[in-house]
Structure 1
Amino acid sequence: MSEIEKLERQFSEAIDNKNKIEIALKITKASYFDDFEKSRFYAIEIITLSVREKNRYLMARGLSYLGTALGNMDILNKSLICFKKAMEIFQEINDLEKVCFSCNNLGYSYLRTSNYKKALLYFQQGLEIAEEHEYLQIGAVILQNIGQLYAHISDLEKAMDYYLKALKLYETDPEYYITNLAIVYSSIGGLQKSLRNYEKSVYYHQKSLEIYQKINDDLGIAGQMCNLGSIFHIQNKTDKAIKYLNSALEKAEQLNNLEFIQVTCNNLGTFYLSLKNYDMAISYLLKALQIAEGIGNLLSSFDNYQLIGEIYLKKGDLHKCSEYLHKALNLIGKVKDLEFIQKLYRSLSELNYSMKNYRESLDYFKKSMEIKEKYFDESRNRQINEMEIKYEVEKKQKEAKIAKAEAEMYRLKNIELEKAYQQIEKEKNKTDHLLLTILPAKVALELKNYGYSLPHSYENVTVYISEFRLFEDIQRNFTAEEIIRHLNEIFEIFDENFEKMNSEKIKTFGDRYLAVSGMPMEDENHALNILKAARKNLDFIDKRNEELGLNWEINIGIHSGKVIGGIVGVKKYLYDIFGDTINTAARILEYGQPMKLNFSHTTYNLVSDYIKNPEFKETEVRGKGKMGIYSIR
């Protein structure tokens, strides 16, 4: 008989309500992570018995446990209700440590629903209590969760800062906080992976693994092995990747943890796919798919259908490809992830093209582009939202400091009162200045005051424009469907090249591609960023021409200067740009050499330390007079 079964028997035999509550508390805690339904059932028993005993403290604890159980079951709206009610009771009975725990529970629940503003509000409230009363354990947990929040909104520097603060507290008593240490080491390892510091990522995940091995936590061991296998995969350390991923799968199978088995099989499937071992990739992905279908994970099922179909397309098995892609298509009404949907439409377009169903191929291609644009818009809106969150975070932190200063002011006497007031005014001015530096001044102030942004001038920006040389001749040699497919493949690589170089795609129009660096976020290397990305574009075109036996060439124009742009719209924010800098880049494109980086003297001055012996010519340019144009390859 297991320990939980013994406790359940004691509960059923107990007569005294207080005794029943104590046993129910033990059962609820013991079944936290293994049996959510059991944890929920006994949490309700705690609440019911506490009401009979008129014990509000135990009722609040029961509500907290019920909120946790419901959260584990992904019933987040009811989970939030329980946590809020528990917090109200703890506040009434003045149990500040439990209020602090409730703040963390509410913050984490809002974090899971991506309501970052409310999550941060509760985390900060809990952290203030923890720091004031030296509740080290819950304080460290909140710091760690704030780090996770910042990681979610891509503020990796602040995420690392909070993780390290949590780590410092845990290291004050490493034996007591041993599990917390393992978790925060893993979080830091994940952050280092996002920052592409792979050696540091390996270091922290190995420290986490060592702790889990020390405390014999098999699930933790499996998780860190999976993380390490994933990093070794990125580093092309094939033998190590296989070793760790297989070890993770073996552990997960020993534990019979279906969700973890599914995740690990997915990782192994994508690993073998990268090695072009399609049969092994399919075998693992089918195993992951079977589990996803069994546990009702629609998003994972959808992704697996699409990926398996894509592999069969690579193998040339169009029948099997069609079978799995259409299974994914049947789930499309239940899937909200636009990136997954866009990938499916793109695969269906390629499938139909291979089957010579050009009309269907074009239809799916258009759907793919529509979803891609929608996803792009949502990504931009998400970035705006993240910037607003960062703005409000700094504002609340400064306001909290000012509030404390004001409280102190009222305790001062006579002359000291005026001195304190002047200091507060100074702090307020600093706060306003800091908040206006989080966003471009006009954008921040106009969004704050009016809910929209007027165009903003950016002084130091480099603009890239490219188009295909003799594109009308190219069009004569290909069908419309083929032209669209070629442009899509090329522009997707261009997108990646500019993103890697901290540059921003603005738009494409026909065969033209427009990108910038230096806006909306300033970057002193804006000119160098554009040249590096543009050179990658040329290398890609050369390689593609060689592989496909084509002779496509692009003309490129690059110029640096002032650009007008910013957030456009009220309900749906987008960036757009205009100004003479764009016109000049277009003229350079027109008069420059094909398959070379053609740029102005202004741009050359910004990158001259990095370029040797560029070609130079001075030519009469339409609408500009004589202009010097530099060219390199």
Structure 2
Amino acid sequence: MKILKNLLIFVCFFSNILWAGDIIDNLEAKLKTISGKEKINVLNALAKAYYEKSPKKSMSYAEQALELAGKADDQKDKADALHNIGVACKYLGNYGKALGYYLESLKIRENIGDEEGIANSLHHIGNIYDYLKNYDQALKYHQNALKIREERGDKKGTADSLHNIGVICHQLNRYTKALEYYQKGLKIREEISDKKGIAGSLNNIGVVYKHIINYPESLDYYLDALKIFEELGIQYEIANISNNIGELYLKLNNYDRAFSYLGQGLKIAQRIEAKELIRENYAFHSDMHAAKGEYQKSLEYYKLSSQMKDRIFTEESSKKVADMQAKYESEKKEKEIELLKKDNHIQQLALGKQKLLKNSLLAGFFFVLILAFVVYNRYRLKKKAHAELEAAHNIITSEKAKSDKLLLNVLPVRVANDLKEKGETEPESFDNVTVYFSDIVGFTNLSSQLEPRFLINELNDIVTAFDNIIEKNQCERIKTIGDAYLCVCGMPEENPNHAENIVNSATEIIQYLTERNHYSKIHWNIRVGIHTGKVVGGVVGIKKYIYDVFGDTINTASRMESNSKPMKINISETTHEIVKNKFKFIERDSIFVKGKGEMKMYFINNGLVVKS
């Protein structure tokens, strides 16, 4: 019986695919023979038909519709075209541009009172804020869209809004609420036979079951959703669910099936240039190779994922999003103020006319009264403008302070000042610098056993403590590389106590971790290496400034760390000569170091016991 049911579904969906293909062919053929408003409607219809099939073609048709609608001064068609361009941008991963077009379309639809269009715009703006992880804004827009759609009796729209509110609850880890909204949306979609919507609901329910570790239930929902999307020919969603299934098989340690589905998803995502799906797929590939012990391949895919993330989310796009939202809100408020002024003006005229008819003397009195009101109002407005100007100045001052603080979190103080004053900074060589290098013992095995969010919280807590310790000892953190931590003393500001400060920092760090391991569920142990010598430092890059250090001293410090032991501080002979009278040491046998030969090393005798 189940086989017959699936066969019937396949026949219906295959018919829909052929029918959809015929519609596109018919519309493109018709486009060559029409003009005016009819041509605008066909262009917008083609833009919608190509949303997921080919976002670039969709954008091309929508831009043509926008140009013709602008010439014809047809506001509704213009709003539809702007909205269609926004959808195409979304599928291409250009969320900042998509939001700009959605807001412009919403403004027009509000002006002409197009309630269906307003709800549609609110719906899509909510989706963009979801992608940008601004869940409060996303929830606000989806709830406003749901209210309009329920009032209009729009079942499909209501189901879509319920589904999207479920997505926000899902993102906030409210899984029971998410399932409740998804199931409500699915029920309506089944009532109205919205096949694409049914598939979307099935996929998201599968994601919830994955998060509550019910993998068999999750897989069933995923496969049902994938089957529908494949039969509908919706490439974006096929790639999306292939990614989801690949990730699930990865969690089930079925690497062959994971590789198969991830390969299918990546191929489609690259073909349709869906940047977010490509980034997600690279991340899953990285996790899969790491789980198989193929760390070089894992690192390659991790780098690809990071590069794609940088392309999607940049400071420039975030700024554009904020500017466009502010512009929309500002224009909306100006319009409301203008309407209020018009209403007030009409009321004043009517009142003046009525009183003029009653008594001319009273009219004169009211004239004086109105004049006094105007003078007072001008004074009040001037006072308000002054207050607003002062508030704006305070905001600018505050934002500048935040900007300076952020810059100092990335670069040393002197380098940051050079960049602000001159726009550039020259690399420098420092002869007396002590370098600290540490690495977490067994990090790869531990990280594979922990949930990503818990792992990041742990690393953030540890690195923050390290930062506080080295700052107290007048040292400078250069960077972290995964679980490795690199800091220096003696640059970019010279410090005669550079070696002593670094050794003090290392001792305090070991003390901190030892105490933390007494109460933490996860026990983190590190190896520490320290070396002193000549270091070159400077800013690398022109778009995202990074202060980095170079030289043989860095490599030697790394060798000291790799030849250290858990919760031990291993220092070179050079550093030992500087601080030998200030700390207790355990002399080690000479150790052969690749590229260096035999080297003498010393452990700092801190008297601490490692808890495994």
**1:563-613 per-position Cα deviation (integer Å, ceiling 9, x unaligned):** xxxxx87743257799xxxxxxxxxxxxxxx879xxxxxxxxxxxxxxxxx
Distance 1:217 1:490, change over 3 A: same
Distance 1:385 1:237, change over 3 A: same
Partner-residue secondary structure (3-state), 1:49: coil
| RMSD of Structure 2 on Structure 1 (CA) | 5.6
Q: Which of 110, 118, 128 is equivalent to 1:149?
A: 128
On the 8 A contact 1:185/1:204 being kept in 2, the answer is yes
CA distance in 2, matches of 1:401, 1:422: 24
Are 2:499 and 1:499 equivalent residues in the alignment?
no
TM-score by length of 2: 0.56
1:146-295 pair list within 5 angstroms: 146-173=125-152, 176-237=153-214, 240-241=217-218, 244-245=221-222, 248=225, 267=244, 270-271=247-248, 273-276=250-253, 278=254, 282=256, 286=260, 288=261
1:31-430 pair list within 5 angstroms: 37-51=21-35, 56-76=36-56, 78-173=57-152, 176-237=153-214, 240-241=217-218, 244-245=221-222, 248=225, 267=244, 270-271=247-248, 273-276=250-253, 278=254, 282=256, 286=260, 288=261, 297=268, 337=278, 340=281, 365=296, 369=299, 372=302, 375-376=305-306, 379=309, 382=313, 384-385=315-316, 387-397=318-328, 399-401=330-332, 403-404=334-335, 415=375, 416=377, 419-420=380-381, 423=384
Gaps of 5+ in 2: 1-14, 346-370, 408-413, 418-435, 464-477, 488-511, 530-538, 550-565, 569-581, 585-607
On the 8 A contact 2:540/2:546 being kept in 1, the answer is no
Q: Deviation of residue 490 (structure 1)?
A: 5.5
On the 8 A contact 1:37/1:69 being kept in 2, the answer is no
Equivalent residue pairs, number: 444
On the 8 A contact 2:248/2:258 being kept in 1, the answer is no
Q: Which of 430, 438, 442 is equivalent to 2:403?
A: 442
Distance 1:138 1:297, change over 3 A: same
Q: Deviation of residue 90 (structure 1)?
A: 2.8
Q: Deviation of residue 245 (structure 1)?
A: 4.6
CA distance in 2, matches of 1:391, 1:85: 28
Distance 1:234 1:84, change over 3 A: same
Q: Deviation of residue 38 (structure 1)?
A: 3.0
**1:234-283 per-position Cα deviation (integer Å, ceiling 9, x unaligned):** 2123564456456556766887989877866765565455344x3xx756
On the 8 A contact 2:100/2:321 being kept in 1, the answer is no
Distance 1:193 1:254, change over 3 A: same
Partner-residue secondary structure (3-state), 1:297: helix
CA distance in 2, matches of 1:347, 1:501: 23
Partner-residue secondary structure (3-state), 2:213: coil
Q: Deviation of residue 73 (structure 1)?
A: 2.8
Q: Deviation of residue 196 (structure 1)?
A: 1.4
**1:477-501 per-position Cα deviation (integer Å, ceiling 9, x unaligned):** xxxxxxxxx5555577697545346
On the 8 A contact 2:83/2:121 being kept in 1, the answer is yes
CA distance in 1, matches of 2:406, 2:276: 37
On the 8 A contact 1:47/1:59 being kept in 2, the answer is yes
Gaps of 5+ in 1: 1-30, 302-333, 355-360, 447-452, 457-464, 472-485, 516-529, 543-551, 557-567, 579-593, 597-619, 623-629
1:3-18 pair list within 5 angstroms: none
Task: Give the letter for the 1:205 counterpart.
Answer: Y
On the 8 A contact 1:87/1:99 being kept in 2, the answer is yes
CA distance in 2, matches of 1:153, 1:270: 22
Q: Deviation of residue 142 (structure 1)?
A: 0.5
Distance 1:177 1:436, change over 3 A: farther
TM-score by length of 1: 0.54
Larger relative contact order (Cα-Cα within 8 Å, sequence gap ≥ 6): 2
CA distance in 1, matches of 2:340, 2:415: 39
Q: Deviation of residue 70 (structure 1)?
A: 3.7
On the 8 A contact 1:442/1:454 being kept in 2, the answer is no
Task: Give the letter for the 1:227 counterpart.
Answer: N
**1:360-410 per-position Cα deviation (integer Å, ceiling 9, x unaligned):** x7xx72x75466457546646725345423432453245425754886799
CA distance in 2, matches of 1:536, 1:32: 63
CA distance in 1, matches of 2:323, 2:269: 35
On the 8 A contact 1:269/1:282 being kept in 2, the answer is no
Q: Deviation of residue 201 (structure 1)?
A: 1.1
CA distance in 1, matches of 2:299, 2:519: 21
Task: Give the letter for the 2:45 counterpart.
Answer: Y
Task: Give the letter for the 2:159 counterpart.
Answer: A
Q: Deviation of residue 232 (structure 1)?
A: 1.6
Task: Give the letter for the 1:508 counterpart.
Answer: T
Distance 1:394 1:342, change over 3 A: closer
Distance 1:426 1:387, change over 3 A: farther
Task: Give the letter for the 1:297 counterpart.
Answer: I
Q: Deviation of residue 159 (structure 1)?
A: 1.3
CA distance in 2, matches of 1:225, 1:49: 42
1:577-588 pair list within 5 angstroms: none
Identical aligned pairs, as a percentage?
20
On the 8 A contact 1:265/1:284 being kept in 2, the answer is no
CA distance in 2, matches of 1:498, 1:369: 18
Partner-residue secondary structure (3-state), 1:71: coil
Partner-residue secondary structure (3-state), 1:508: strand
CA distance in 1, matches of 2:322, 2:402: 12
On the 8 A contact 1:268/1:284 being kept in 2, the answer is yes
Between 396-405 and 222-231, report the one with greater CA deviation: 396-405
